[in-house]
Amino acid sequence: MKKKSVDTLVVGGGLAGSILAWKLMQQGVRTHIVFDPKIPSASYVAAGLMNPVTGQRLVLQEHAKTLLETSKSFYQSLEEHFQTSFYFEKPMLRYLRNQKEELAWKKRQSNVDYDDYLEATNQPKCILQHHTAYLDTQGLLRCLHEAFECRGMLSHATMDYDEIDSQSSSIRWQHISAQGIIFCEGWRGQFNPWFQYLPFQPSKGEILDLKTSSKVPEHIINSGRWLLPMHDGRLRFGASYDCHPPMNESITSHGKETLLADLKQMPVVLEDVDVMRQQAGVRPNTLDKQAFLGVHPKHSNIAILNGFGSKGSMLIPYYADVLMEHIQQQKALPKNVDIRRYSCA
């Protein structure tokens, strides 16, 4: 194969790798992206929900406004570029399930930071959440990958770490030489020899696509599990959460039964429910629930963008910029996501 020289080699074709490669390319950085489509990607399974207030304690994501603005403008710029829709704003009805959640809501009502995000409804145990949206992750990735392929900057291959030569000033892998390499392998980053010291804590999730004869709700419904009525008529329900190893992307009958039992507890009655599709994926969660960004402490041309857990759609556009500014302009990384919070033996 003809030799190719680039500035940056990106490993991983999920949201992290694809968004990073696109942003680099837009800046004029010569980029090549490699991923193995046979290695499952959480991004293809994800519902793409963007929800800045989460958990039983109704916690507002730090820097929510910046994260939401950055992701919205990024996804909308891609919609314009590809002349198709990926980003859908949709308010969420959040049903409070227990005293803990009711107490949290009571507290939040007197906190002005939440005014923009949470609103009372005429039902006592139901809140209306604003600034929620979802991303059509599959549609987006399809467009990005086609664009990379058209530009000859995509290889479909398994990255065998032994094939990477990082001894000289540039990185060499197969026919490609690069100034630097950025790993975005999702939960499989825990097997990467340069970054396996980082405490990944992956979690498996299963998700159902449903069909029903009932009228589907207008809002996203959240009551522990969420129900997402999509623009194309699909109704998605999920997702389960299992952090017991070993991890894999196989669907299970237990996962399906649990989700269908939970569907019956949702505050929306759906008649004649058929399961059209069941999928499973593994989220790249981390021990301290913060992302992993940075350059390897001993190898200045090896970097990582990973650890986005259940929030990749909202976090990745912003943190891809943060990592690029760190690498290109030596801007300090926010401490909470900097991989230097863990020591590498």
Q: Does 339 bind ligand FAD (CB under 6 A)?
A: no
Q: How far apart are the first and last CA of the chain?
A: 37
Contact present, 178 and 8 (Cβ < 8 Å):
yes
Burial of 90 (0-12, 13-18, 19+ CB in 10 A): middle
CB of 205 to ligand FAD, least distance (A): 3
What is the β-pairing status of strands 118-120 and 126-129? Answer: antiparallel
**What is the C-alpha to C-alpha distance for residues 138 and 141, in angstroms, rounded to an integer?**
5
CB of 284 to ligand FAD, least distance (A): 5
Q: Does 306 bind ligand FAD (CB under 6 A)?
A: yes
Q: Does 311 bind ligand FAD (CB under 6 A)?
A: yes
Interface with ligand FAD (CB under 6 A), residue from 26, 76, 158, 336: 158
- At 193, which helix (H) or strand (E)? none
Q: Does 230 bind ligand FAD (CB under 6 A)?
A: no
User: Among 13-21, 59-67, 211-219, 322-330, which window interacts with ligand FAD (CB under 6 A)?
Assistant: 13-21
Q: How many CB atoms lie within 10 A of CB 95?
A: 17
Contact present, 206 and 283 (Cβ < 8 Å):
no
Q: Does 45 bind ligand FAD (CB under 6 A)?
A: yes
Q: Does 71 bind ligand FAD (CB under 6 A)?
A: no
Contact present, 7 and 35 (Cβ < 8 Å):
no
User: Among 54-62, 87-95, 174-182, 306-314, which window interacts with ligand FAD (CB under 6 A)?
Assistant: 306-314
**What is the C-alpha to C-alpha distance for residues 145 and 300, in angstroms, rounded to an integer?**
28
Residue 208's nearest CA partner among 251, 244, 241 is 251
Residue showing the smallest CB distance to ligand FAD in the complex: 14
CA 290 to the chain's CA centroid: 13
Q: Does 295 bind ligand FAD (CB under 6 A)?
A: no
Nearer to ligand FAD, 33 or 327 (CB): 33
What is the β-pairing status of strands 92-95 and 220-223? Answer: parallel
Report how many residues bind ligand FAD under the rule CB under 6 A.
39
Footprint of ligand FAD on residues 172-211 (CB under 6 A)? 184-186, 188, 205, 207
Q: Does 294 bind ligand FAD (CB under 6 A)?
A: no
Q: Does 284 bind ligand FAD (CB under 6 A)?
A: yes
Q: Would you say how long the chain is, in residues?
A: 345
Footprint of ligand FAD on residues 257-276 (CB under 6 A)? none
Edge-to-edge strand list for the sheet holding 87-89: 49-50, 133-135, 87-89
Q: Does 43 bind ligand FAD (CB under 6 A)?
A: yes
Interface with ligand FAD (CB under 6 A), residue from 9, 21, 42, 266: 42
CB of 124 to ligand FAD, least distance (A): 27
CB of 226 to ligand FAD, least distance (A): 8
Contact present, 189 and 42 (Cβ < 8 Å):
no
Q: Does 52 bind ligand FAD (CB under 6 A)?
A: no
Please list the residues that pair with 176 across neighbouring strands.
4, 173
Binding site for ligand FAD (CB under 6 A): 12-17, 35-36, 39, 41-43, 45-49, 158-159, 184-186, 188, 205, 207, 238-239, 281-284, 306, 308-314
